[in-house]
Structure 1
């Protein structure tokens, strides 16, 4: 089974301990999120839920 291709934000690069949030697309098309310091714990959301989450964050900026 192919592994997910995890990507981290360019904003995460300056962390002292290398801790960051990573995002990948799952095999079923869901958006997967994990913390680099605990990579075995993965949260998954549908694309529509992830999109609503991002719109909510951007609206509060």
Structure 2
């Protein structure tokens, strides 16, 4: 994890009404937020982030 900028999911739909998740990766944490409401942020450790991605890949 070396990025320190917000990125939208490649699976996000286009347009104003799209459901988008953004992620910002840092060496020590992963942050997730809703692009339509960027206030609340979910924070995860690198281990938890990896487990989350593994679960999604199933």
Alignment TM class, shorter chain as reference: 0.7 to 0.9
RMSD (Å), alpha carbons: 1.9
Give the match's secondary structure for 1:12.
Answer: coil
Q: Which has the higher helix share?
A: 1
Flag as ranges the 4+ runs of structure 1 deviating above 3 A. none
Q: Give 1:22's aligned residue.
A: 22
Aligned length: 55
Deviation, structure 1 residue 52: 0.6
TM-score, reference length from structure 1: 0.73
Radius of gyration: which is bigger?
1
Aligned residue in 2 for 1:58: 57
CA drift at 1:31: 0.3
Structure ranking higher on relative contact order (CA contacts 8 Å, 6+ apart): 2
TM-score, normalising length: structure 2: 0.76
- Give the alignment of 1:29-44 within 5 angstroms: 29-44=28-43
Question: Runs of 5+ in structure 2 lacking a partner?
Answer: none
